[in-house]
Every structure is written in structure tokens, then in C-alpha cells.
Copies of this chain bind each other. A is one copy, B any other.
Amino acid sequence: MNGAESMLQTLINNGVEVCFTNPGTSEMHMVAAIGKTTGMRSILGLFEGVCTGAADGYGRMAGKPACTLLHLGPGLSNGSANLHNAKKANSPILNLIGDHATYHKKYDAPLTSDVIGLSHPVSHWVKTSETSNELPKDAAEAVVVANGAPGKISTLIVPADCAWDESGEPLPAQPIPAAPLVSDESVQEALALLKNGKKTILLLGNLALTEAAIDIVDKVSQATGAQLFCDTFVTRLPRGEGRCEVERLGYFAEQATEQLDGVEQLIMVGTKAPIAFFAYPGKASEFYAEGSTLHTLAGVNDDAENALQRLSDALDANSLSPRHVKLAKKGEGKGELNPYTIGQTFAEHMPTDAIVIDEGATSGGGCYASSVTSEPHDWITLTGGSIGFGLPTAIGAAVACPDRKVIAIHGDGGAMYTIQSLWTMAREDLDICVVIFANRKYQILQVELARVGAQSMNKKTLDMLDIGSPNLDFVKLSEGMGVSATRATSIAEFNSQYLQAMKTTGPKLIEAILP
């Protein structure tokens, strides 16, 4: 058994069963090892950002890591932006990066680069195996780290000779470390804040946003009057019928500061204090008033549900009923085809247990607002701000949950970064409906240009933020990669195309031409 084979069996023994891959010569023994086993599904991407984004979506929905298989430094680089998003999402991912044979690195061949240096910024853990014998052990360590709550990015660099040389036996399943419990002091401090009569919010993220955790914190809210918010960008948010509503903080400082108006105390659970996405000249970076009391009940890595349960216990709130949302359908969109009418139709026909991938950018708000009382669903957002996450993440979500419809709502600009994703959707026949909001500009940037006080709105400036000229034809792009597609230029066309997509399975793209 060579190093690649023993490593692979170790991963399989530890529950890793999907590999999103775009391999090259230095990964050929790992490719061959995957080819020889039935324990690892291999899914090919035409670009590495597809693979890493898919691993992010898979990790968010499966709650365990897939692996990626990437080709030296450049392969990692191509996948790096979506690893950045995944790192900010605390998704579990295990990257396998093939590198030159140990003895070949000194020659500085064309593909030689500082793989370790490129790995650290997008990983929680990085290791280079030094021999084939160490490779299975390193792989076991990588998978344990990746499974650390709420999820970590492990990057294992595998020199080609470590993969092809003879190795030892694979390692069995390793214990997965539980999320640490928070201290009693932290719970007591939160309790004291919740009881002192001051205006208080609970800000939720990561492990505090499971369905169970939200049910508990909703009781805490009822018992104390504290308002519930979650981060603007969430890894995964259960919503719709049968779930409690949690208000998302607004993206722009003026929205968020209005939401937090008068708040004196912020208790963070599974996240950190709320701050602006970008700095703006003369505006504060912090969303909370100066002098506010901040308390982190549970950090990002802590057992947030346990901390909330202890709060609920201490407040005698367990007997309260969580305030679950009731299903309320409000009808399809009518009138103009725009993000709001699209959102109405999107919400109306969303099937039970859909997974929504939201990279709608300036056009996505209508879908979110309209679907508060839709069928139960999960909402997944862009946590790291690097656009081009939505299409790949949809792939991973669909692989993790083959019985659930995935709906990716996507800005046209963002969709172009990893447009190659469509091909993998077709190849794997994934049940994904992609809705493209075609406004033919980087609209968020036209908004931001004014907001940052950059006083130049002339044609040359705006052209840098405009992606019409020529217009992209997403129907042709989609068909060019094997995904059937239609164009909607009216709300009636959209309604019919979307309903049809919800009634059938398999990949489908709808390009909605916005005014």
C-alpha cells in the first residue's frame, strides 16, 4: 500500500467520503488511489475555486469535511478565495495539495512555489508530510482538526514521493473533540446583564444558529426581553415555518446602527461584536454605541447551545414555547420583473427543506424578506465577502443533501468568477436551480462609490463598474456547459420558469433580466 492509498483509507475511515478535485501530475497517485476505491466519491471541477467553494457548501450542510485535491501552489491559489470564505464561515474542509517530490523542490521547477506560505492565510492548520510513512498519521490529524467545532480548514501538503512510496497501514477512526463548554462565570455575567433592566441584545452566529440553539435562545428572549439578532452574513440559518425568527443585522452601518439604536448591552453567542464590512471616511467602524457593554457568552469555537441552555435553566425559561413562524404564502410576484417581485415568486414556490444559497448582492434582499414565512429552509450566505462563492457552494450543498432542492440566487457579476461551476452541476446532475439577477453592473460598487465619498461619477469611472457592453448571455453560457437555461424578461415568464424548475429535479438556470 503506497502513501496515497494509506492516506486515502485513513480519510475514509474518518468519515471523509467526497473529494472535489482538479488534479495535476503531482497528484496522480492520489487520483489513482481514489480510482481504486469505492469509499470516496470524486467530483471534478474545471477550476479550483469550484472545488473549494463546493467543499464549503458540503461542510456547511454535512457538518463534516469533504476533501479537495489541488495542484501545487497555483491550484491552491485558484481555490484560495473560496477557502477564505469558508474560513470565515468556519466550515470544515480538508485540502490535499500535491507538491513536488521532496528531492525535486531544490531545483525551483516552473511549478515550484511557497505552498506553505500560500496555505496559512486560508487555513487553520497546515502541514507538509515528510515521508510516506507519516502521511496516514498526518491525514488523521488533518481530519481531526477539520472536525473541530464549528469547523476548521486543514491543509495537508503531500509531496509526490510521499504519495508514491510504500507506506504503513491506514489509521482507524479518530475521536472528534467536542466544542468546549463556556465557564460558569461567563454564564453568570450574561445572566446579570440580562436582569439589570438595560436594553440588551443577543447577537448570534455559527453554533448559536442551529435550529435547537435558536429554540433555546428564543425562550431566553421571551424571559428577559432581550432582542435577538444574528450576523449579517451567516454560515447557515434555519428559517421559515416551524423555526423562530432571528433578525439579521443590516449590511450598511446606517441600517445596523438604527437596528441597534438605544442598545446598551450586547451579548455575543458564537460570534464577535458587530462591526462594519468596510471603513468609510469619517464613520465609525463599530456598530454599537461608545460605552456599550460587550460580553461574549460563547466564542466562535465554544458550545453555544450548551451555554444558552444554561442561561435558559437559570432563567426558568425551559417551559416556554419557542415562537415558531407559521407558514403564510402571499402569492406570486406581479407587475414589473424586479428583485422584489422575483422574491415573492421565489418565496411562494420554495419547496420544503430547500437550501438557499444567497449571493444575490444588491438584488437578493427581496428573496430574503419575502421568505420569512415560507416552507422551512436553510439560508446560506457569503461569509468572507469574496464574490463567486454561490455557484460552487450550491454544488457542495446539493452533494451533501441530494434529496433537497438547492436554489442559488446570484448576481450576474459574482456568478462570472466561478461560472465553470455550471459544468459540474450538469456532470453530476445536481438538483440546483440558479437564478441570475442580470442587472449588468457591479451595482453594489456604484452604491459604494458614492458612500466612500469618491467624487467621480463620470463615464470612465462608471464603466469600471459596468458589465454591460457586451451584455453577458447566461443562457448561452449555461447551455455551453450542459445546463438547460431560460431567460425571463417579464414576471410572467419568470413565474412560469421558476415554478417549472421547482417541480422538476436536475440543474436549471434562469436569467432574469432586471430593469
Q: Please, how many angstroms separate the alpha-carbon atoms of A25 and B73 in the complex?
A: 28
A275, B109: Cβ atoms under 8 Å?
Answer: yes
User: Which residues of chain A in 401-417 are interfacial with respect to chain B, using CB atoms and an 8 Å cutoff?
Assistant: 413, 416-417
Contact flags A127-144 to B (C-beta < 8 A → 1, else 0): 000000000000000000
**Stretch touching chain B among A55-63, A114-122, A186-194, A206-214:** A114-122
A452, B28: Cβ atoms under 8 Å?
Answer: yes
A36, B458: Cβ atoms under 8 Å?
Answer: yes
B277, A110: Cβ atoms under 8 Å?
Answer: yes
Residues from chain B with a CB closer than 8 A to the CB of A423 are 416, 467, 470, 472
Interface range on chain A (Cβ under 8 Å from partner): 35 or more
Question: Residue on B with the closest CB to A29?
Answer: B454
Residues from chain B with a CB closer than 8 A to the CB of A113 are 84, 121-122
Q: How far is the CB of A415 from chain B (nearest CB, A)?
A: 10
Residues from chain B with a CB closer than 8 A to the CB of A28 are 445, 448-449, 452, 454
B285, A104: Cβ atoms under 8 Å?
Answer: yes
Question: Residue on B with the closest CB to A74?
Answer: B386
A480, B472: Cβ atoms under 8 Å?
Answer: yes
Question: Residue on B with the closest CB to A426?
Answer: B470
Q: How far is the CB of A281 from chain B (nearest CB, A)?
A: 5
Cβ 8 A contact of A103, one of B101, B279, B467, B469: B279
Q: Please, how many angstroms separate the alpha-carbon atoms of A426 and B78 in the complex?
A: 24
Contact flags A152-178 to B (C-beta < 8 A → 1, else 0): 000000001100100000000000000
A461, B35: Cβ atoms under 8 Å?
Answer: yes
For A32, A36, A453, A474, which residue has the most chain B Cβ atoms within 10 angstroms?
A32
Cβ 8 A contact of A464, one of B21, B416, B453: B21
Question: Residue on B with the closest CB to A26?
Answer: B278
**Is there a chain B Cβ closer than 8 Å to A88's Cβ?**
yes
**Is there a chain B Cβ closer than 8 Å to A515's Cβ?**
no
B78, A74: Cβ atoms under 8 Å?
Answer: no
**Is there a chain B Cβ closer than 8 Å to A463's Cβ?**
yes
B233, A110: Cβ atoms under 8 Å?
Answer: yes
B452, A164: Cβ atoms under 8 Å?
Answer: yes
**Is there a chain B Cβ closer than 8 Å to A503's Cβ?**
no
Contact flags A21-55 to B (C-beta < 8 A → 1, else 0): 10111101101111110000010101101000000
For A29, A78, A419, which residue has the most chain B Cβ atoms within 10 angstroms?
A78
B121, A278: Cβ atoms under 8 Å?
Answer: no
User: Which residues of chain A in 447-489 are interfacial with respect to chain B, using CB atoms and an 8 Å cutoff?
Assistant: 448-449, 452-456, 458, 460-465, 467, 469-477, 479-482
Q: Please, how many angstroms separate the alpha-carbon atoms of A326 and B350 in the complex?
A: 69
Q: How far is the CB of A299 from chain B (nearest CB, A)?
A: 13
**Is there a chain B Cβ closer than 8 Å to A100's Cβ?**
yes
Q: Copies of this chain, how many? A: 2
**Is there a chain B Cβ closer than 8 Å to A90's Cβ?**
no
A121, B111: Cβ atoms under 8 Å?
Answer: no
Cβ 8 A contact of A463, one of B44, B107, B275, B481: B44
**Is there a chain B Cβ closer than 8 Å to A339's Cβ?**
no
B78, A84: Cβ atoms under 8 Å?
Answer: no
Cβ 8 A contact of A285, one of B107, B164, B279, B473: B107
Known: A114-B121, A472-B481. A31 touches B464 (CB 8 A): yes
Contact flags A354-391 to B (C-beta < 8 A → 1, else 0): 00000000000000000000000000000111101000
Residues from chain B with a CB closer than 8 A to the CB of A75 are 81, 386
Residues from chain B with a CB closer than 8 A to the CB of A160 are 278-279, 452
B109, A276: Cβ atoms under 8 Å?
Answer: yes
A276, B104: Cβ atoms under 8 Å?
Answer: yes
Question: Residue on B with the closest CB to A468?
Answer: B427
User: Which residues of chain A in 284-321 are interfacial with respect to chain B, using CB atoms and an 8 Å cutoff?
Assistant: 285-286
Q: Please, how many angstroms separate the alpha-carbon atoms of A21 and B466 in the complex?
A: 12
B481, A35: Cβ atoms under 8 Å?
Answer: no
Residues from chain B with a CB closer than 8 A to the CB of A73 are 84, 121
Closest 10 CB pairs of A and B: A35-B461, A470-B482, A74-B386, A476-B480, A77-B80, A32-B454, A101-B279, A32-B456, A104-B279, A477-B480
Known: A78-B388, A80-B118. 4 other contacts (CB 8 A): A32-B454, A104-B279, A109-B385, A477-B477
Q: Tell me the A residues contacting B by CB distance below 8 Å.
A: 21, 23-26, 28-29, 31-36, 42, 44, 46-47, 49, 72-75, 77-78, 80-81, 84-85, 88, 100-101, 103-104, 107-111, 113-114, 117-118, 120-122, 160-161, 164, 233, 272, 275-279, 281, 285-286, 383-386, 388, 413, 416-417, 419-420, 423, 426-427, 444-445, 448-449, 452-456, 458, 460-465, 467, 469-477, 479-482
